[in-house]
Amino acid sequence: MKTKTLNIKTESLAEDLMLGLICQGIRENTLPGESKYKVVVQVREIKNGSFNRRRTDLQKAKDTLWKLVSEYVRRRDDGQCFTCPTKKQWKEMQAGHFIPQSLCNTDFKYMETNVHCQCYRCNINESGNVAVYRVRIDEKYGFGTAEMMEEQNRQKIAKWTLRDYEQAIRDYRKKLAELGN
């Protein structure tokens, strides 16, 4: 089957959605006529649209907050891996989650009891070294804390707004300043 690519520039979210529905229909059915083409449409978003601007501001706030939380946690823990004896300069370490980012709600993504300094081996190669992480969470914060965190994470929470992220960014900048160099 031949593929024909069309470049279409949309002006609004409504046009993006409508185009998406049309393209889905084209993908599922072939175009009428004897020559059967599969049509691939590339949509270019307009960066000036208010919908895209809000999304971009929110994504920037999320990225900024994660950078601040990550630095804070690694400096707070003084470069000591939470799940193994490895200790390095904080810049060489990572901020690892007990409840993985892919599974945790927004509150837990940035919660200091869920995020600790980890070495690359534990965080990436051992997927967070969760068995040891669970034991260390209970040792540090009290027996049953890990289980309680998992239960709380299952509960639905309100989505964070841009203002929530901005407030958290201010809070973590203050915490980093208190840590000093």
pLDDT per residue as tens digits for the range 116-164: 999 999 999 999 999 999 999 999 999 999 999 999 999 888 899 999 9
Q: Is the pLDDT of residue 101 over 50?
A: yes
Tell me the pLDDT tens digit for each residue of 102-113. 999 999 999 999
- What's the mean pLDDT in 44-54? 47
- What's the mean pLDDT in 51-55? 52
**pLDDT attached to residue 15:** 62
**pLDDT attached to residue 72:** 98
**pLDDT attached to residue 139:** 97
- What's the mean pLDDT in 10-25? 57
Q: Positive or negative, the Cα torsion across 171, 73, 104, 120?
A: positive
Bridge partners (DSSP) of residue 5 are 40
Report whether 52 contacts 16 (CB < 8 A).
Answer: no
**pLDDT attached to residue 39:** 41
Longest CA–CA span in the chain (Å) reads 72
In degrees and rounded to multiples of 5, residue 50 shows phi and psi of: -65, -35
Mean pLDDT of the chain: 82
Higher pLDDT, 22 or 181: 181
Q: What is the DSSP letter of 122?
A: I
- The DSSP result for 79-106, as a single string, is TB-SSSS-B--GGGSEEEESS-TTTS-H
Tell me the pLDDT tens digit for each residue of 56-78. 899 999 999 999 999 999 999 99
**pLDDT attached to residue 31:** 46
**pLDDT attached to residue 142:** 97
**pLDDT attached to residue 68:** 98
**pLDDT attached to residue 10:** 58
**pLDDT attached to residue 41:** 40
